[in-house]
Amino acid sequence: MIQDPYSLPAEEFYERGHTYFLPHISIDCVIFGFHDNQLKVLLLEWKDSLRWSLPGGFILKDEDIDQAATTILLKRTGLEKIHLQQFHTFGDPNRDRKKHGINPPKGSNSKGWLMDRFVTIGYWALVEHSKVTPTPDAFSRSCSWCEVSEVPELILDHNLIIEKALESLRQQLNDYPIGFNLLPAKFTMPELQSLYETILGEKLDRRNFQKKILSLGILTRLNERKQGGAHKAPYLYKFDRKKYQMALKRGLSFGI
Amino acid sequence: MIQDPYSLPAEEFYERGHTYFLPHISIDCVIFGFHDNQLKVLLLEWKDSLRWSLPGGFILKDEDIDQAATTILLKRTGLEKIHLQQFHTFGDPNRDRKKHGINPPKGSNSKGWLMDRFVTIGYWALVEHSKVTPTPDAFSRSCSWCEVSEVPELILDHNLIIEKALESLRQQLNDYPIGFNLLPAKFTMPELQSLYETILGEKLDRRNFQKKILSLGILTRLNERKQGGAHKAPYLYKFDRKKYQMALKRGLSFGI
DNA sequence: GTTTTATTGTGTTAATCGTACACAATGATA
DNA sequence: TATCATTGTGTACGATTAACACAATAAAAC
């Protein structure tokens, strides 16, 4: 028994995965990034080049499910500390590759464990786009960012999973200041506003937005401005974890 | 193969359950009721009389997980149409009866499927207390209501599951008008307010509460008053599903 | 270099919403 | 018949949100 079954070649993973993992249970991750004023998700392109799917994985027989999700995130992005959120478990009995006409790799047993019905636990994650190294898994030829509104048809119910993840993300963005996880350490107010507008899908008033965000008292304005863009250079801000902790104690009222 | 494995005697269920259900996956239900101005949950007392647990069950190999939860609800309450909400999946590897010193029934195989590690999908449900017929399962001697703040120590992480369910319920109660599911068809404003106060754990102003609730435009005041109590008889109201649908379309702003 | 342009930084006003609060009406009880 | 606890209703104030205007600035155009 080796330590990391994900390092196995695809054929062996397919034939022997069931000795490592809980059967019938998987994890799927909707990994959000923000780039060029667009909200993107990380997708895998299969080696047969005809199918796309969400990054996913399985749960070791003695592994915590959050830990399993963290491992998947690390493998696909190279990042360790990631804002991670379980949001829904999908249990339609048609979540079954056989029923969707997905065949096992050539030469493999067509009754392999991967061809069973799976209940999948959905997680979404927020990552800083520029820090991610998209890395395909053993079954994929590529791993790449895709704008949320341009996601192609994915296997099984993965399109539905993205929809539900977005819904949950919008909800959370309204209740907690989690948007910073999608931006670099230093960012401008217009960048933050654009992020909110993109995710929530509505235009916001520039002045009221700034007032609201600053009133939370969790940002520090730096003595730097973002140079390079055309027009007036905006200030840079950073998210202040200490201020955030203090604000939490006295009760943080959010809602954009 | 019979149709309903839950009808099996406990011993047979224990020995042969794995032929019907997905392994390593369970469902646990936090069933909320409101009575005597108290929020209650339905608990099972085991036949050995020393342990308590949440009502739960398993997923048939070709069954939808929401359907599986609905079946559990029906078995324990006798009710069919129930407001049901999946809220979290619990996947600590220590969710394992062996690790918690829980023994299988006497004479049974100590390596039975029920002794494995389980990932459990948590649902909460809102029911009308007076309509429920609490019904124990094959492993339990009783099924009864327990005030939320007086829940005894339960098996595994079931106390944690209740905590998380409550958290999710409070959140939802703030976002959607779901409280009516806990009351009879006809109810008074003081009853509804008491329900909100109990779940949210705070006193509310009587007049502002009424204003807010009525402004939603989803209640109909009946030409009846609730007789019998001491003091002035309050009006009866009913939740109006049609008005609710219309309100949803024009955007329902909630938040108590 | 000067002008133009799009964008940033900031503050004021009006409208809305939430909170605090008072008094008359009612039904049972004393 | 008087008392009491509770219900039904309305108003005033403060806080929050939404709408809106103008000066400052950095790059680009001329």
What does the pLDDT read at residue B2? Answer: 56
The answer, for A22 touching chain B at a CB cutoff of 8 Å, is yes
In degrees to the nearest 10, what's the CA dihedral of A133, A139, A145, A150?
Answer: 180
For residue A109, pLDDT over 80 is answered with no
Q: What is the DSSP string of B104-123?
A: PSTTS-TT-GGGSB-EEEEE
Protein CA at B81 to nucleotide C1' at C27, angstroms: 38
The answer, for A99 touching chain B at a CB cutoff of 8 Å, is no
Across residues B145-164, what is the average pLDDT?
98
Nucleotide in closest CA–C1' contact with B236: D7
> Minimal CA–CA distance to B236: which of B197, B188, B174?
B188
For residue A103, pLDDT over 90 is answered with no
Mean pLDDT score across all residues of chain A: 94
Nucleotide in closest CA–C1' contact with A233: D26
Q: Residue A3: what are its φ and ψ, rounded to 5°?
A: -80, -40
> Minimal CA–CA distance to B166: which of B59, B87, B252?
B87
Bridge partners of B147?
B40
Of residues B254 and A199, more confidently modeled: A199
Residue of A nearest to B59 (CA): A91
Across residues A68-72, what is the average pLDDT?
98
Measured to protein CB atoms, the chain C nucleotides within 7 Å are 5-12, 18-22, 25-29
| Model confidence pLDDT, tens digit, residues A41-66 | 999 999 988 899 999 999 999 999 99
| Model confidence pLDDT, tens digit, residues A216-237 | 999 999 999 998 878 899 999 9
The 10 Å Cβ neighbour count of residue B227 is 8
| Model confidence pLDDT, tens digit, residues B63-108 | 999 999 999 999 999 999 999 999 999 999 999 999 999 988 777 7
Q: Where are the alpha helices (DSSP H) in chain A?
A: 10-16, 65-77, 158-175, 189-200, 206-215, 241-249
The answer, for A25 touching chain B at a CB cutoff of 8 Å, is yes
Does the pTM surpass 0.90? The reply is yes
B190 touches strand D (CB under 7 A): yes
Residue among A64, A92, A117 whose CB faces B91 most closely: A64
What does the pLDDT read at residue A159? Answer: 98
Protein CA at A230 to nucleotide C1' at C2, angstroms: 18
For residue B251, pLDDT over 80 is answered with no
Measured to protein CB atoms, the chain D nucleotides within 7 Å are 4-11, 17-21, 24-28
Q: Nucleic chain D: which protein residues 205-234 of A have CB below 7 A from it?
A: 205, 207-208, 212, 225, 227-233
Contacts of B72 in chain A (CB under 8 A): none
Across residues A242-248, what is the average pLDDT?
91
Q: B169 and B32 in contact (C-beta within 8 Å)? A: yes
What is the distance between the alpha carbons of residues A117 and B64, in angstroms, rounded to a whole number? 11
Across residues B207-215, what is the average pLDDT?
96
User: pLDDT band at residue A170, thresholds of 50, 70 and 90?
Assistant: very high
- Closest Cα in chain B, distance from residue A101 (Å): 17
The answer, for A84 touching chain B at a CB cutoff of 8 Å, is no
The answer, for B62 touching chain A at a CB cutoff of 8 Å, is yes
Q: A125 and A162 in contact (C-beta within 8 Å)? A: no
Helix (H, G, I), strand (E, B) or coil at A45: strand
Q: Which residue has the tokens 């096992």?
A: A104
What does the pLDDT read at residue B247? Answer: 87
What does the pLDDT read at residue A2? Answer: 55
Task: Measure the CA angle with vertex A33, ends A150 and A256; round to 5°.
Answer: 95
Residue of A nearest to B62 (CA): A93
Across residues B43-51, what is the average pLDDT?
92
- Interstrand relation of B186-188 and B219-225 (parallel, antiparallel or unpaired): unpaired
Mean pLDDT score across all residues of chain B: 94
Across residues B33-58, what is the average pLDDT?
95
Across residues A184-210, what is the average pLDDT?
97
- Closest Cα in chain A, distance from residue B61 (Å): 8
Interchain contact, A25 vs B117, CB within 8 Å: no
What does the pLDDT read at residue A1? Answer: 53
Interchain contact, B22 vs A119, CB within 8 Å: yes
